[in-house]
Chain A
Amino acid sequence: MAQMTMIEAIKDAMRVELERDENVLLFGEDVGHVGGVFRATEGLQKQFGEDRVFDTPLAESGIGGLALGLGIQGFRPIAEIQFIGFIFEVMDSIAAQASRMRYRSGGKYNSPITFRTPFGGGVHAPELHTDSLEGLMMQTPGIKVVVPSNPYDAKGLLISAIRDNDPVFFMEHLKLYRSFRGEVPEGEYTVPIGKANVVREGSDVTIITYGAMVHTSLKAAEELEKQGVQAEVIDLRTLMPLDIETIVESVKKTNRAIVVQEAQKTSGAAAEIMAQINEKAILHLEAPVIRVAAPDTVVAFGQIEKEWLPNEKKVIAGVNQVINF
Chain B
Amino acid sequence: MDNVSVMEKANYEVRTNKVMPLSILSLDGKVNEDLLPDLSDDQLRELMRRMVFTRTWDQRAISLQRQGRLGFYAPVSGQEASMIGSEFALNKEDFVCPGYRDMPQIVWHGLPMYQAFLYSKGHQHGGEIPEDVNVLMPQIIIGAQIVQSAGVAMGLKKRGKKNVVITYTGDGGSSQGDFYEGMNFAGAFKLPVIFVVQNNGYAISTPSSKQTAAETIAQKGLAAGIKSVQVDGMDVLAMYKAVQDAAERGRNGEGATLIEAITYRFGPHSMSGDDPTKYRTKDEESEWVLKDPIVRFRQYLEAKDLWTEEDETKTIEEAKQTVADQIKKAESTAKMTIPGLIDSMFESTPSHLEEQKKAYLEKEGN
- Listed in ascending order, the chain A residues whose CB lies under 8 Å from chain B are 29-30, 33-34, 37, 55, 57-59, 61-62, 85-86, 88-89, 124-129, 265-266, 295-298, 300-305, 307-308, 317
User: Is B140 in contact with A127, judged by CB distance below 8 angstroms?
Assistant: yes
Please give, as numbers and ranges, the residues of chain A lying within 8 Å of B177 by CB-CB distance: 59, 61-62, 89
Please give, as numbers and ranges, the residues of chain A lying within 8 Å of B357 by CB-CB distance: 295
Please give, as numbers and ranges, the residues of chain B lying within 8 Å of A88 by CB-CB distance: 141
Contact flag A304-B175 (CB < 8 Å), given A265-B356, A266-B352, A317-B363: no
Contact flag A33-B338 (CB < 8 Å), given A58-B172, A128-B141, A303-B121: no
Please give, as numbers and ranges, the residues of chain A lying within 8 Å of B71 by CB-CB distance: 124, 126, 301-302
Contact flag A89-B353 (CB < 8 Å), given A302-B122, A302-B336: no
Which of B48-56, B202-210, B231-239, B253-261 sits within the interface?
B202-210
Min CB distance A41 to B, Å, is 12
User: Is A301 in contact with B122, judged by CB distance below 8 angstroms?
Assistant: yes
User: Is B341 in contact with A58, judged by CB distance below 8 angstroms?
Assistant: no
Q: SS class of chain B's interface: helix, strand, loop or mixed?
A: loop
Rounded to whole angstroms, the CA-CA distance of A34 and B269 in the bound complex is: 13
Please give, as numbers and ranges, the residues of chain B lying within 8 Å of A30 by CB-CB distance: 203-206
User: Is B204 in contact with A37, judged by CB distance below 8 angstroms?
Assistant: yes
Please give, as numbers and ranges, the residues of chain B lying within 8 Å of A129 by CB-CB distance: 140
Please give, as numbers and ranges, the residues of chain A lying within 8 Å of B252 by CB-CB distance: none
Min CB distance B21 to A, Å, is 22
Name 19 A/B residue pairs within 8 A (Cβ), A-sorted. Answer: A29-B206, A33-B206, A34-B278, A37-B204, A37-B273, A57-B172, A58-B172, A85-B141, A89-B141, A124-B122, A128-B140, A295-B341, A295-B360, A298-B345, A302-B121, A302-B123, A304-B122, A304-B335, A317-B363
Contact flag A308-B341 (CB < 8 Å), given A57-B212, A58-B172, A58-B173: yes
User: Is B140 in contact with A304, judged by CB distance below 8 angstroms?
Assistant: no
Count A-B pairs with CB separation below 8 Å. 115
User: Is A295 in contact with B353, judged by CB distance below 8 angstroms?
Assistant: yes
Rounded to whole angstroms, the CA-CA distance of A302 and B335 in the bound complex is: 11
Residues B144-190 near A (CB distance < 8 A): 172-173, 175-178
Q: Name the residue on A nearest B142 (C-beta).
A: A58
User: Is B345 in contact with A300, judged by CB distance below 8 angstroms?
Assistant: no
Min CB distance B112 to A, Å, is 18
Rounded to whole angstroms, the CA-CA distance of A55 and B210 in the bound complex is: 8
Contact bitstring B31-66, A, C-beta under 8 A = 1, else 0: 000000000000000000000000000000000000
User: Is A303 in contact with B336, judged by CB distance below 8 angstroms?
Assistant: yes
User: Is A305 in contact with B206, judged by CB distance below 8 angstroms?
Assistant: no
User: Is A296 in contact with B206, judged by CB distance below 8 angstroms?
Assistant: no
Please give, as numbers and ranges, the residues of chain A lying within 8 Å of B143 by CB-CB distance: 89
Please give, as numbers and ranges, the residues of chain A lying within 8 Å of B344 by CB-CB distance: 297
User: Is A34 in contact with B205, judged by CB distance below 8 angstroms?
Assistant: yes
